[in-house]
Homo-oligomer: A and B are copies of this chain.
């Protein structure tokens, strides 16, 4: 049995309306979610109230505050639905426990973590070496359909700039 199947069989269905939070920064969150349908954003709020977006999560993805769940610490980010979403929720510890018993699940978990680390590496690289303009162009060519669905506000927060700056960039 694969991981996705396991979650579907053993998890519980959760419906989230547009604008609602799945979990909030500062909360403990022991669950991992499989996104069946919908679109979400994972974002940070800094002390001075500024929001920056960590990532957008599309259907088919497994998402959760893995570190929070694993270390039993409060999540560093919030997860919000940008559209109505259907998720399947399963405790992270159930996954870990399962992985202790099944090599194939362990292997799959390793695959997921490796591909997660690949994604983060790309993002780190872009933040470190590219200008906002280049990051925007990259995003547009890598995820054209996603970009269409987002507000410029959210795109800007993802790029690490203000909506005003993004508007300027687009204008050129």
Report A's interface with B, CB cutoff 8 A: 44, 46, 50, 52, 54, 66-67, 70-71, 76, 96, 99-101, 103, 106-107, 109-110, 113-114, 116-118, 120-121, 123-125, 127-129, 160
Contact = CB atoms under 8 A, between A and B. Distances in A.
A19 B114 CA distance: 29
Contact of A110 (B113, B124, B125, B127): B113
A41 to B, nearest CB: 13
Contacts of A113: 110, 113-114, 117
B44 A118 contact: no
Q: Which 3 A-B pairs have the closest CB atoms?
A: A106-B106, A113-B113, A127-B127
Contact of A99 (B50, B54, B106): B106
A108 to B, nearest CB: 10
A116 B125 CA distance: 16
Given A127-B160, A128-B127, A110 B118 contact: no
